[in-house]
Amino acid sequence: AACPPPARRVMVAARALLFWALVYSYCGVCACIAGLRLLWSIGRRPGETFRWVVRENPPACLNDPSLGTHCYVRIKDSGLRFHYVAAGERGKPLMLLLHGFPEFWYSWRHQLREFKSEYRVVALDLRGYGETDAPPHKENYKLDCLIADIKDILESLGYNKCVLIGHDWGGMIAWLVAICYPEVVTKLIVVNFPHPSVFTEYILRHPSQLIKSGYYFFFQMPWFPEFMFTLNDFKVLKSLFTSQATGIGRKGCRLTAEDIEAYLYVFSQPGALTGPINHYRTIFSCLPLQHHEVIMPTLLLWGERDAFMEVEMAEITRIYVKNHFRLTILSEASHWLQQDQPDIVNKLIWTFLKEETKRK
């Protein structure tokens, strides 16, 4: 192909420079805000600020036999060992569940119990999370690696297709798997994450969403985000699920003390936060997408009281799905939808799965 004219090259370079200036400038702003919060915490409670308790023994809920069996699989290409919890008989159709941040397989506990009657339900610990291997370098967490993980795991489990369900960051990965490997996804279900193209276009045009996604920029920094999570014995982690601003609402199925302890057990281990945050550290070099369309039946579930994602992106997602698309917005639900309203979410998923089976 012929080289673009000089004017076009200058314009492309200028746009790239402006984009990265925005990224690093906002990263600096987020770091300053985090630094001020750190100083405020030290001033108020200096003895408590740096307290960090490593939980040595998992709470009983993580070994609840009703949730399934803990399993491991090693991927040939990457050599990484993945941890997952599986429920339901082998040989049944596969339902693969991808969690968000800061979560792990346990966020799908309600779905593991619900769908094991008709599916082999597999709740995965994504690369870098929980008991799954965590490569040390951020380059190992590029989107193409994360997408390849899912396809390779599918094959390692002995399947060539699945019902794919993702929440939050797991929703981003689920969208990308459906775009890049449509032959392996029979039905796509995403919880509280828009089509990636919608997200990248919307965030640049709506400052309110840019602010809500500030953690994407803050996570570009080395080590400091992990450090901030550990303060006050992981106060940030606890408040994400329990506070009035970001947590599960009054009408939701609140996390029990044991549920919270399960999250603290996983993320309090030394180095346990670096892999999860590394997922975000290459995001700006991987987007926007070259291919956009999703061609399989798709269900998008959305908690309207999401503190991190504006609901307007849910409806815009429709234009990228070239098949049956169903959107359900739950007005009283939070970002943690499958934990917040598990009965309603499970019913909506069942309806979608059976409806599409009848259509075929």
Question: Which CATH number fits the domain that encloses residue 82?
Answer: 3.40.50.1820
Tokens at 281, concatenated = 């550290």
d(CA 31, CA 27): 6
Predicted pLDDT of residue 113: 98
Residue 294 lies in a domain: yes
Which residue, 125, 126, 99, 102, is CA-closest to 111?
99
Question: Does residue 178 sit in helix, strand or coil?
Answer: helix
Q: 83 phi and psi, to 5 degrees?
A: -100, 140
- 207, with CB counted inside 10 A (0-12, 13-18, 19+), is exposed
Residue 267 lies in a domain: no
Query: How many residues make up the chain in this entry?
Result: 360
Residue type, 46: P
Residue 236 lies in a domain: no
Residue 34 lies in a domain: no
Predicted pLDDT of residue 345: 98
Residue type, 48: E
Predicted pLDDT of residue 132: 98
d(CA 20, CA 220): 12
d(CA 112, CA 120): 9
- Per-10-residue mean pLDDT for the chain, 360 residues long? 65 69 79 88 86 94 98 95 98 98 98 98 98 96 96 97 98 97 98 96 91 92 95 96 92 94 97 98 77 93 97 97 97 96 98 72
Number of structural domains (the chain) is 1
Which residues neighbour 236 within 8 Å (Cβ) at sequence distance 6 or greater?
228, 229
Strands 298-303 and 81-87: unpaired
Residue 158 lies in a domain: yes
Please identify every residue annotated as catalytic: 168, 280, 335
Look-up of token digits 């901030």: 228
Give the structural domain span for 112: 60-202+283-354
Predicted pLDDT of residue 12: 64
Strands 162-167 and 185-191: parallel
Neighbours of 244 (CB within 10 A): 9
Strands 69-74 and 81-87: antiparallel
Residue 12 lies in a domain: no
Residue 120 lies in a domain: yes
73: β partners: 82
Q: Helix 143-156 to helix 169-180 angle, to the nearest 10 degrees?
A: 70
Which residue, 76, 118, 82, is CA-closest to 99?
82
H helical segments located in 107-256: 109-115, 143-156, 169-180, 196-205, 207-212, 214-218, 224-242
- What is the residue-wise DSSP string for 76-134? TTT--EEEEEEES-TTSPEEEEE--TT--GGGGHHHHHHHTTTSEEEEE--TTSTTS--
Predicted pLDDT of residue 355: 87
d(CA 286, CA 283): 5
In degrees, to the nearest 5, what angle opens at C-alpha 67 toward C-alphas 63 and 72?
70
Residue 159 lies in a domain: yes
Look-up of token digits 């993580």: 62
Residue type, 27: C
